[in-house]
Structure 1
């Protein structure tokens, strides 16, 4: 997976080509009113934080086998798409979670992120806050996962944003009505660009 889109200025992420520009956006507020974002009306927010073969369940993704820790999943969006390259199907996904546990907050910017495949990216500004950013991934015989992981301590809590691409070559092909991977990825990236945590800015 190309890292190009993760290096774009955030305002441009929402303008990536192939996004569903015709559908009206909806607003989501969660985490006791602390987290706000916008999403395409074709998507459905969920609090199902189930895992997969190469992806742990829970409120944040961990890439070194460490426990996920105490925390709360706020929202997850996902969409099954037709892969740009290869066969099977790909799921584009974004999730947001947080924790007020002192142990989690103390290692918010590193826990579970420093794996063998990790790459540290420059800090990024999102919603008026500075975030620590890593890329991570894993692969099996027929599955591959790539992720960009955002972490920040805001008002004494550890917030986690995980932007994930999960490809399964051995899966049945995505339906004819499924979007292309480019469309699904752009919708998730557009959500990322709108995320705001804390007071209104």
Structure 2
């Protein structure tokens, strides 16, 4: 299939409006929508076709509460790394939508995956984890195209989160994702709006 200028324009819109969403409406996401997102995640590339990502959709209230408690504990510890105005600014940030988002997805990398038979990982074994990140990014763009917001929660202890969710020991947490319809539509990153930091252009060098 040959892509057209319309495809280029649509992709530019999706990339530009992809945001790390922290404020969600409580409206549920339809099962058929989630199924479409899963199928689009299946299209993500992976090293050696290993497809190491594993997804848990977290519905159990006790497990969700455990994840929220873990986040809040880790967030308090992170705040202690700042002082003065920086601590005040950090504490003012909304860094997760765990209580509001209707869908929680925990995405893991299966470090013992047999698929791919190690192809492409002999010199860069970390490519296995990169593959999971590619799958998350594919899901992120697919969600944006459906007008669904995604927030990536990284302020978690991976081992504690895995224990809360009952993940197998060979699964390493890559990201805990909140999905739902955004409370506000904006093409401006939250960290820009709060004055935390502007985005720099890519350091792209010819060598």
Same fold (TM over 0.5): no
Structure with more contact order per residue of length (Cα contacts < 8 Å, sep ≥ 6): 2
Q: Whose radius of gyration is greater, 1 or 2?
A: 2
* Structure with greater helix percent: 2
The TM-score, its normalising length taken from structure 2, stands at 0.28
* Structure with greater strand percent: 1
